[in-house]
Amino acid sequence: MNILVVGGGGREHAIIKKLRENKTVDKIYALPGNGGIAQDAICVDIGAKDLDGIVEFASANNIDYAVVAPDDPLVLGCVDRLNSIGIPCFGPEAKAAIIEGSKAFSKDLMRKYNIPTAEYQVFTECAAALKYVEKCNIPVVVKADGLALGKGVIIAMTREEAAEAVRSMMEGHMFGSSGDSVVIEEFLEGPEISVLSFTDGETVVPMISSMDHKRALDNDQGKNTGGMGTIAPNPYYTPDVAKRCMDEIFVPTIRAMKAEGRTFKGCLYFGLMLTAQGPKVIEYNCRFGDPETQVVLPLMETDLLTVMQATTAGKLSEIDVKFSDDSACCVIMASKGYPESYDKGFEITADEDFNACMYVAGAKAQEDKLLTNGGRVLGITATGSDLKEAIANAYTAVDKVHFDNAFYRKDIGQRALAALSDK
Ligand code: AMP
Ligand code: GLY
């Protein structure tokens, strides 16, 4: 079987390594992939948003199955385009990917179907939004409606900050047309839980839960990033919480999308907050999370390609998707300066006794060397029989990887460990 994977980050590397475990897989093409992914797949220099290029490549290269991993091509309709030339895909069609593509859509969906989430209002006029923030409770959360590279959320601690956020999104076009409409929502508090799920539109199968660490610095200080590390499972996701999530959030969401004529097939990511009133949805993503995938897939025991194909075929209920009882920890090694400016082009090396998983996010190959080429450079994942061991193994592995200006958080998993010791 020849498989095409759209995307080129650490998440895609984790997906590709897992797909490789299936013996029927011959070639895997990554569009565009990266210098590290090139060790596990054939990388082709076609951008993830270049739908014409992707379709042309797929039709010329005997592709049997495609996995579209990032949000942009999904929202732009990459799956629709590949399906139209007869290539089955893992991922939602554009009309379902809107669950991530428009926050106004997802909030309205939750309101209509009684799915627990923060109270909110949608604004398309700047003056009305400004008037609203003069009176609303503070802190308040201001979100650009459309995709904004994970940066379209501003938590305003004061009325002035809220007004500034509204102005910069709606008048300053800080996130381009993504900010033409904004969602202003209630500030929620509590630990966050990420749950990725497989769904074929009828059945929803949650994967092992995880916890992201979004801030750049230790103790959740510094700027928001794409994610500096993850652990799985998330200790806040107890069996009781899992049951409530299934009954109040996961199943109602899948049914709501179907009822709206937007059946969702693929990986639906639930970003949840465990509030005093119970779990609430912070956001939906129409795809695997990054770097959640880098801890979830290493713990998956069932063959990934088999589960993906069952999802596409609407036969997920026939499969028993199993995860190991172990824990996993992924530490992101970034370039110093990320998420702002940073230098790149430094050689990446690993000691001979490095024995963890190295998922490459931002690196390029030059001759036989691997050079840093992005903000988030590597995700180093290790597993262990419990969380403590997984964290220790991950940091032991991180110590064996070297590049100039390397920067990483030292406390990935500490909040989860503290939660475990409180139990
Ligand atoms: P998002 O891009 O929607 O995942 O938001 C980024 C981060 O902002 C989330 O992971 C939360 O930490 C935070 N956030 C988003 N919405 C809220 C909210 N209503 N209340 C508190 N924090 C929020
Ligand atoms: N880790 C959060 C995301 O993938 O959006």
Question: Ligand 1: does its nearest atom lie under 6 Å from the Cβ of 187?
Answer: yes
331 DSSP 8-state letter = E
Using left for φ > 0, alpha for ψ between -120 and 50, and beta otherwise, residue 150 falls in: left
Give the model's pLDDT for residue 281: 98
Domain boundaries, the chain: 2-93, 125-180, 192-318, 327-422
Strand partners, 381: 330, 357
Interaxial angle between packed helices 387-398 and 414-422, expressed in degrees from 0 to 180 and rounded to the nearest 10: 160
> Which pLDDT band holds residue 83 (cuts at 50, 70, 90)?
very high
Task: Measure the CA–CA gap between 73 and 423, rounded to whole angstroms.
Answer: 42
Select the CATH number that applies to the domain covering 327-422 from these four: 3.90.600.10, 3.50.50.60, 3.10.20.600, 3.10.180.10.
Answer: 3.90.600.10
Work out the mean pLDDT of the chain and round it to a whole number. Answer: 96
| Phi, psi for 89 (deg, rounded to 5) | -135, 155
Distance 134 CA to ligand 2 centre (A): 31
Nearest to 391 by CA among 369, 416, 363: 416
Express each pLDDT in 249-297 by its tens digit. 999 999 999 999 999 999 999 999 999 999 999 999 999 999 999 999 9
Instruction: Using the Cα atoms of residue 98, residue 224, residue 411 and residue 347 in order, give the sign of their dihedral.
Output: positive
H or E element that contains 130: helix 126-135
**Angle made by CA atoms 17, 398, 300, in degrees to the nearest 5:** 35
Nearest to 420 by CA among 252, 235, 211, 157: 235
Task: Measure the CA–CA gap between 412 and 72, rounded to whole angstroms.
Answer: 28
Query: Do 422 and 352 contact (CB within 8 A), yes or no?
Result: no
> Which pLDDT band holds residue 216 (cuts at 50, 70, 90)?
very high
Tell me whether residue 62 is exposed, middle or buried, using C-beta atoms within 10 angstroms of its C-beta: 0 to 12, 13 to 18, 19 or more.
exposed
- Quick count: other Cβ atoms within 10 Å of Cβ 156? 21
What value does the mean pLDDT take over residues 108-126?
96
Tokens of 112: 């209509």
Express each pLDDT in 142-171 by its tens digit. 999 888 776 788 999 999 999 999 999 998
Question: Residue 252: CB partners within 8 Å, gap ≥ 6?
Answer: 113, 114, 115
The answer to whether residue 368 scores a pLDDT higher than 80 is yes
> Which pLDDT band holds residue 197 (cuts at 50, 70, 90)?
very high
Nearest to 394 by CA among 362, 386, 325: 386
- 349: amino acid identity, one letter: T
Distance 153 CA to ligand 1 centre (A): 7
The answer to whether residue 98 scores a pLDDT higher than 70 is yes
Distance 242 CA to ligand 1 centre (A): 20
Task: Measure the CA–CA gap between 128 and 168, rounded to whole angstroms.
Answer: 15
**Atom of ligand 1 at shortest distance to CA of 188?**
20
Question: Residue 131: CB partners within 8 Å, gap ≥ 6?
Answer: none
Distance 16 CA to ligand 1 centre (A): 29
For ligand 2, atom 2, which residue shows the shortest CA distance?
289
Question: Ligand 2: does its nearest atom lie under 6 Å from the Cβ of 290?
Answer: yes
Task: Provide the CB-side half-sphere exposure for 335 (13 A, CA).
Answer: 23
As assigned by CATH, the class of the 2-93 domain is alpha beta
Q: Is 5 helix (H, G, I), strand (E, B) or coil?
A: strand
The predicted model scores a pTM of: 0.96
- Is the bond preceding 291 in cis, omega lying within 30 degrees of 0? yes
Question: Ligand 2: does its nearest atom lie under 6 Å from the Cβ of 292?
Answer: yes
What value does the mean pLDDT take over residues 236-247?
98
Task: Measure the CA–CA gap between 183 and 161, rounded to whole angstroms.
Answer: 15
What value does the mean pLDDT take over residues 101-107?
94
Question: Ligand 1: does its nearest atom lie under 6 Å from the Cβ of 337?
Answer: no
Task: Measure the CA–CA gap between 344 and 404, rounded to whole angstroms.
Answer: 9
> Which pLDDT band holds residue 100 (cuts at 50, 70, 90)?
very high
The answer to whether residue 179 scores a pLDDT higher than 90 is no
The answer to whether residue 88 scores a pLDDT higher than 80 is yes
> Which pLDDT band holds residue 215 (cuts at 50, 70, 90)?
very high
First to last CA, the chain: 47
As assigned by CATH, the class of the 125-180 domain is alpha beta
The answer to whether residue 177 scores a pLDDT higher than 90 is no
Interaxial angle between packed helices 10-19 and 304-313, expressed in degrees from 0 to 180 and rounded to the nearest 10: 100
As assigned by CATH, the class of the 192-318 domain is alpha beta
Name the closest ligand to CA 196. 2
Of the chain, the percentage scoring pLDDT greater than 90 comes to 93
What value does the mean pLDDT take over residues 70-95?
98
Task: Measure the CA–CA gap between 85 and 325, rounded to whole angstroms.
Answer: 41
Give the model's pLDDT for residue 423: 67
- Is the bond preceding 233 in cis, omega lying within 30 degrees of 0? yes
What value does the mean pLDDT take over residues 89-102?
97
